[in-house]
Structure formats: structure tokens, C-alpha cells
Amino acid sequence: MEQEKETQHQNSEERLKEAARIEFMRKGYAAAKIRDIAKAADTNLALLNYYFRSKENLFQIVMAENVDKLFENILPVLNDSNTSLEVKLVLISKLYTKMLLDEPSLPIFVLNEIQTNPEGFGNQIRFNQNVMNSHYITQLAETDKDTDPIHHLITYLGMILFPFVMKPVMQATGAILPEKFTNMIKQREKLAPVWMMTLLNLPGLPSSNSVDV
């Protein structure tokens, strides 16, 4: 009986978190309503308050889980001292493309939070620790000693992320049909590392070299 109750509690908590994730993704923190979250999770406000105490606490939990999605697979790649910069570029493109195809609303959500709470978001993702002190940044700095590596970081992230930001505009204007968007992204997954290697004057990967995630 106790085990059954515990399972029910876990299921209710997970339903609330999933409903909150969708609500926050669609509307952002300010516009999201806890009443709508409870309704979407097929539960009530009392239970939501019991588990999470407040909208702010619930948002912080959802944000933390989204940040984990952003970094859980990419951090080992950024800090792997045994892989070349070329291999890292290919892996970054593959990993982020897969994640963003699975979670297409994530870029808009992240951009919204960067705009509304840049310091809090930066602290939460531990940007300096996780990214700016990574082996990847060191390799960029060594490859192009005349350019601050943050320029190359922003450029590469833009190549991968920006199409997802522009997706609603492109589809609303008929610039690209919904069914063709995924094909375009898959093409960019392969092209982005090539473009970046060209920008950095890197020789590129041997044609026979395949990089697996």
C-alpha cells in the first residue's frame, strides 16, 4: 500500500513538472498560470502547492532540468582533451541538432529567460565554469590567436540554434514547408562543422573519418 502511494505521488509530481515545462516553454515565466498547469496535469492547486510551494520554485526546477538537457551530453565533449577541435565541432553539431529536434521550443524558452533574467540564467548554467573554461575554448584560442574565442563560440552556436528560432517565421511566411524543415536541419548538421572549419582555417576531417555520438 505504501509503495502504491509513493508511486502515485511520483506520477503526480512528474505530471505537474511536464505540464509546467510545456506551459513555461509556450508562455514564459511571467505569462504562465499555475492554475493552467494544475489543470493540464489533471490535478488541483492544493497538490501543486504541496509539491512545489510556489510558481517560482516550480519554474526553478523546470529550468534546472532544461539546463541539464543543454549540457549533460555536451560538457564531456567540450572538456575531452583527447579529441581534436575538428571532432568537437562535428560532435557539437550532432548533439545539439538531435536535442533541438527533440525539443524545438527550447531555444525560444532559453532566449526569453536570457532576456528577462540574464544574470540568473548565466549563474544557473555556470557559463564561465562550464563553457569559458572548457578545453574547447582553449583549442579555439590556440587555433586563432588573433580573435577572442567567444566570437567563434557565438558564431557556431548561431549556426546551429538560429534556424530553430526562425522556424515559426519561415513557416508562417511559406519560406519553408514544415515537412522540409527537418531535412534542412539535417543538412545543416553536416554543413555547420564544415563552415566552421573553413572559418578557422582547419584542414577538416579525413573523408573516411566518421564521428559517432
pLDDT at 79: 92
Could you tell me if residue 157 is inside a domain? yes
pLDDT at 115: 77
- Tell whether 92 and 183 lie within a shared domain: yes
- Tell whether 89 and 143 lie within a shared domain: yes
pLDDT at 10: 72
pLDDT at 9: 61
- pTM of the predicted model as reported, rounded to 2 decimal places: 0.78
pLDDT at 20: 92
pLDDT at 199: 96
pLDDT at 209: 60
Our count of domains for the chain comes to 2
Domain of residue 11, residue span: 2-59
Q: Is the CB of residue 89 less than 8 Å from the CB of residue 197? A: yes
Give the 3-state DSSP-derived string for the chain, with helices as H, strands as E and coil as C: CHHHHHHHHHHHHHHHHHHHHHHHHHHHHHHCCHHHHHHHCCCCHHHHHHHHCCHHHHHHHHHHHHHHHHHCCHHHHHCCCCCCHHHHHHHHHHHHHHHHHHCCCHHHHHHHHHHHCHHHHHHHHCHHHHHHCCHHHHHHHHHCCCCCHHHHHHHHHHHHHHHHHHHHHHHHCCCCCHHHHHHHHHHHHHHHHHHHHHHCCCCCCCCCCCCCC
Q: Which residues of the chain have pLDDT under 50?
A: none
pLDDT at 103: 81
pLDDT at 5: 53
Question: Residue 13 sits in a domain of what CATH number?
Answer: 1.10.10.60
Could you tell me if residue 66 is inside a domain? no
- Tell whether 111 and 187 lie within a shared domain: yes
- Tell whether 89 and 133 lie within a shared domain: yes
